[in-house]
Amino acid sequence: MAKEMTLADIEALTKEFASARTEMMTVGETLNTELQAVRDRHAETLRKHAREANDLATRLSSAIDANRALFENKGAKSKVWDGIKVGLQKGKATISSKYGAAIDGADLYTAIGRCDSLGYEAAASYVDVRYVPTISALATLDDDTLDRIGLARTAGDDTPLVKPVDGEAAKVVDALIKQFIAE
């Protein structure tokens, strides 16, 4: 059982706690000050290297884009050199109105409902209840069905790929590049 204490005893314990907390806060502030000093010492160099890396990535991407044939032969769309994967990556197909207009959810719901192979019960799977087209579900339909409901599938173009294949360190460096370029 705990000893009965007076207010003076509680005050003394409070002072001990406050003192320990103040020491901890002083160490934390010192740590933050030193970390900021390290950041400040290296920030300009990091910005310089981030800009240079970004410029070189842009040049590399442009070179790949201008020389697509090098990566379209024999099925090898990418290569890894010096820990960097370069080449072409598969473009994602998109679903769009074959009439060039934005996809209207209500009209699409009606078109799917009238489609013999789908019907109104299936329409809810392809159009959000707010009548927003569910593109991922629409992408599963065959081209004939898309045509009957006024849509067309457009194949995605391959896009240039420049991606480090080394793990966590690359993620940190990429985050730093994005951070310093944004500043």
Alpha helices by DSSP H, listed for the chain, are 7-66, 69-72, 105-114, 120-126, 135-138, 143-148, 168-182
**pLDDT per position as a tens digit, 52-65:** 999 999 999 999 99
In a domain, 21, yes or no: no
pLDDT at residue 166 greater than cutoff 90? no
Count of the separate structural domains present in the chain: 1
Q: What are phi and psi of 5, to 5 degrees?
A: -120, 160
Alpha carbons 87 and 162: distance in angstroms, whole number? 7
Question: Which residues are registered as beta bridge partners of 94?
Answer: 154
In a domain, 139, yes or no: yes
In a domain, 178, yes or no: no
What tokens appear for 9 in the block? 């005893």
Residue 83 pLDDT: 87
Residue 106 pLDDT: 78
Can you give the residue range of the structural domain that contains 116?
94-154
Residue 173 pLDDT: 62
Percent of the chain with pLDDT strictly greater than 70: 84
Residue 56 pLDDT: 94
In a domain, 6, yes or no: no
Residue 167 pLDDT: 63
Mean pLDDT, the chain, rounded, equals: 83
In a domain, 103, yes or no: yes
The helix/strand/coil state of 89 is strand
Of 72, 73, 103, 111, give the one whose Cα is nearest residue 89: 72
In a domain, 51, yes or no: no
Residue 27 pLDDT: 87
Residue 170 pLDDT: 60
**pLDDT per position as a tens digit, 26-50:** 888 898 889 889 888 988 898 899 8
What integer is the mean pLDDT of 83-92? 88
Q: What are phi and psi of 164, to 5 degrees?
A: -65, 145
In a domain, 173, yes or no: no
Percent of the chain with pLDDT strictly greater than 90: 21
Residue 22 pLDDT: 82
In a domain, 120, yes or no: yes
Alpha carbons 88 and 14: distance in angstroms, whole number? 65
Q: What is the pTM of this model?
A: 0.48
Residue 55 pLDDT: 94
Q: What are phi and psi of 161, to 5 degrees?
A: -120, 125
Alpha carbons 49 and 43: distance in angstroms, whole number? 10
